[in-house]
């Protein structure tokens, strides 16, 4: 059961192409977001669709693969863990971010 702790699995469509930063020859990070969709019927019986956006972070070899093969609109399945952090922006305002650090991903296709 230890693999259930802080575990996230999502299937969605990329909202943007991966943005890759290279820190050294072996250290890279790719950031992107995916959209997941859910639908339900409200009290009036009308179908309501909701889209949730999730920030993804991929490191090193996975960042390279993502940059090479993924484009905006690609459908992907990801597995990883939630990480929350805070930072102070250039205006001195404290911001909070929750991201999924991806351990594994599978390319499913294009939209």
User: Tens digits of per-residue pLDDT, 11-64?
Assistant: 999 999 999 999 888 899 999 999 999 999 999 999 999 999 999 999 999 999
Give pLDDT, residue 26: 82
**Whole-number pLDDT of residue 111:** 56
Q: Which range marks the domain in which residue 65 is found?
A: 2-110
Residues 89-101 pLDDT 10s: 999 999 999 999 9
* Tally of domains in the chain: 1
Integer angstrom CA distances of residue 37 from 15, 53, 60, 62, 89: 12, 9, 29, 25, 30
Q: Which pTM was predicted?
A: 0.82
Residue 33: which CATH number?
A: 2.40.50.140
Query: How confident is the model over 84-93, as a mean pLDDT?
Result: 94
Give the integer Cα–Cα distance in Å for 33 and 13. 8
What is the rounded CA–CA span in Å between residue 72 and residue 109? 11
Whether 76 shows a pLDDT value over 70: the answer reads yes
Distance between CA atoms of residues 31 and 45, nearest Å:
38
Q: What is the mean pLDDT of the chain?
A: 91
């Amino acid at each position: 059961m230890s693999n259930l702790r802080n575990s996230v699995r999502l299937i969605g469509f990329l909202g943007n192409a991966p943005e890759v930063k290279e820190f050294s020859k072996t250290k890279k990070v790719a950031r992107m977001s995916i959209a997941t969709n859910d639908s339900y019927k409200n009290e009036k019986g009308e179908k309501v669709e909701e889209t949730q956006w999730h920030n993804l972070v991929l490191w090193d070899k996975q960042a390279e693969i993502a940059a090479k093969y993924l484009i905006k609109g690609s459908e992907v399945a990801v597995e990883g863990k939630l990480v929350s952090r805070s930072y102070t922006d250039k205006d001195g305002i404290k911001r909070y971010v929750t991201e999924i650090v991806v351990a594994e991903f599978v390319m499913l296709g294009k939209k």
